[in-house]
Chains A and B, each alone.
Chain A
Amino acid sequence: MQQIEAQEEREREQELIRRILHGESDRYAELVDRYARMIQTLVARIIDRPEEAEEVTQDVFVKAFRQLGSFSGRSSFQTWIYRIACNTALSHARRTRRRNTLTGIDERRLGLLPDEEVERLEEWVAHERQLEALTRAVARLEADERALITLFYYEERSVSECAAILGLQENNVKVRLHRIRKKLYLLVMEETDGRDETHG
């Protein structure tokens, strides 16, 4: 039932896009209304300056309008515009990159960290203070890493959707997610160890 509704929605959207391309450009406002909030949420989590998210979201819709003719309909419009949003937000993040977002985690440490230990993160973050530490660790990740975890963990998209949106291979997405979890664990541990030492 849900699949039929999704298919109908997709057809309605494609019809709307056809009309926009045939000169009814004012109707693009319907697509902006429908997706603006989602795009803004995604963009704000990828870029380093969330206060600039609205401007970047506008850039996304301007780019999407210009490239609308190249939308083939093979993927859903949402996946297509998400891809533009991720690319635009990542370019913005590269331009405005803050030095202190660099995590400086040694690759060897990531490799040596056992998977079982990383799984402790779930139970460990039950307390408010630890959750704050994890939030700070997420903010310190690279923009492309934040894009991936926002799509996978926050928006609960599948690995294949994440791959389609970010233009990566599915295996690459899995490897990256695995690596990001370890990185977050190490960042949280580093921060809390440091704090404990300061307070202790």
Chain B
Amino acid sequence: MKRMDEIPRSEAIRRAVDRLPAPPLTGDFTARTMARLQHAEARRQRNERLLRVLYGVLGTASLVALAVWAWWRESTTSPLGQLAAWWQELKEGWSLPQLEQHLPELRQITLPTPSDTGTPEMWILAGLLAAAGIVLLIADLLIRRWIASQRK
């Protein structure tokens, strides 16, 4: 019995493969290939630039949105925010008797001090900032991988 590792050459199969249709290359193949390469390279660089700009815009926008949201949350829940709301109402036309009634309360209002950073709101804010940082890092990683795959 013939051993498997002895693979004989076959003239019949060689001739059959030779007969399979194989159209010749056109004369300007190299020139067209080089032009396509240049075009593809230019497109890749343009896409890469666009992605970097998009990444910058998205990153900045998300940071701004986070800051606005944090400010809004702070302004509605913190003592400082309550003071701002009271001031707004005052500007819109509070009468003096009402002002007198509320004056004693003003003395009890304390401004935020560094020890206030331990309040739950601040922890949430810190957590959100960290989460935003992680999201941006992941987005950066994904975009870099996409750019690398475009190069292949």
Chain A positions near chain B (C-beta within 8 angstroms): 25-26, 28-29, 32-33, 36-37, 40-41, 44-45, 50-51, 53-54, 57-58, 61-63, 65-67, 115, 119, 121-122, 124-125, 131-132, 134-135, 137-139, 146, 149-150, 152-154, 156, 159, 174-175, 177-178, 181, 184
Chain B residue contacts of A178, Cβ below 8 A: 4, 7
Known interface pairs A66-B152, A131-B12, A137-B16. Does A32 touch B34 (Cβ–Cβ under 8 Å)?
A: yes
Q: How far is the CB of A91 from chain B (nearest CB, A)?
A: 13
**Chain A interface mostly helix, strand, loop or mixed?**
helix
* A153→B9 contact, CB < 8 A: yes
Q: How far is the CA of A125 from the CA of B12 in the complex (A)?
A: 6
Q: How far is the CA of A57 from the CA of B22 in the complex (A)?
A: 12
Closest to B7 in A: A177
* A122→B15 contact, CB < 8 A: no
Which of the segments B23-31, B95-103, B104-112, B130-138 contacts the partner chain?
B23-31
Known interface pairs A29-B30, A154-B17. Does A50 touch B12 (Cβ–Cβ under 8 Å)?
A: no
Chain A residue contacts of B49, Cβ below 8 A: none
* A33→B13 contact, CB < 8 A: no
Chain A residue contacts of B1, Cβ below 8 A: 115
* B4→A138 contact, CB < 8 A: no
Given contacts A115-B1, A131-B16, A184-B13, 7 further A-B contacts (CB under 8 A): A29-B33, A29-B34, A32-B30, A36-B29, A66-B151, A122-B11, A153-B10
**Chain B interface mostly helix, strand, loop or mixed?**
helix
Residue from B5, B19, B22, B24 in contact with A174 in the complex, judged by beta carbons closer than 8 Å: B5
Q: How far is the CB of A128 from chain B (nearest CB, A)?
A: 10
* B2→A174 contact, CB < 8 A: no
* B29→A54 contact, CB < 8 A: yes
* B30→A53 contact, CB < 8 A: no
* B17→A150 contact, CB < 8 A: yes
Known interface pairs A40-B25, A138-B17, A159-B7. Does A115 touch B2 (Cβ–Cβ under 8 Å)?
A: yes
A-B residue pairs in contact (CB < 8 Å), sample of 9? A29-B31, A36-B29, A40-B25, A62-B37, A122-B11, A134-B16, A137-B16, A153-B13, A154-B18
Q: How far is the CA of A25 from the CA of B38 in the complex (A)?
A: 9
* A154→B14 contact, CB < 8 A: yes
Q: How far is the CA of A181 from the CA of B1 in the complex (A)?
A: 16
At the interface, yes or no: B40 with Cβ under 8 Å from chain A?
yes
